[in-house]
Amino acid sequence: MKFERKFFFVLALLLSYEQILFAEHPSDEAFLDKLERDTFSYFWYEANPSNGLIRDSTSPGSPCSIAAVGFGLVSICIAEK
């Protein structure tokens, strides 16, 4: 009885591992396209509409910095291409 339980447990682990191992992964190009779109969206939608400053994070009260604004300007140039 114990042997059967262990056998089925190990069998279930092996079958689930095979599904994880051979799962469908997006291509590198598709991954980079999504990353580019998401990055641009962050900088575009987090920019303050009145002065263009971009917060360092999405948490409330997060400060703005020149680095975030610089990354935002570069992301606009890259998104245009």
Q: How many domains are contained in the chain? A: 1
Q: Are 63 and 56 in contact (CB under 8 A)?
A: yes
Q: What pLDDT does 23 receive?
A: 55
Instruction: Indicate the pLDDT class of residue 19, thresholds 50, 70 and 90.
Output: low
Which domain, by its residues, includes 20? 2-80
Q: Radius of gyration over alpha carbons of the chain, in Å?
A: 23
Give CA–CA dist 75/68, Å, rounded.
10
Question: To the nearest whole number, what is the mean pLDDT of the chain?
Answer: 79
Examine the pLDDT at 11 and tell me if it is beyond 80: no
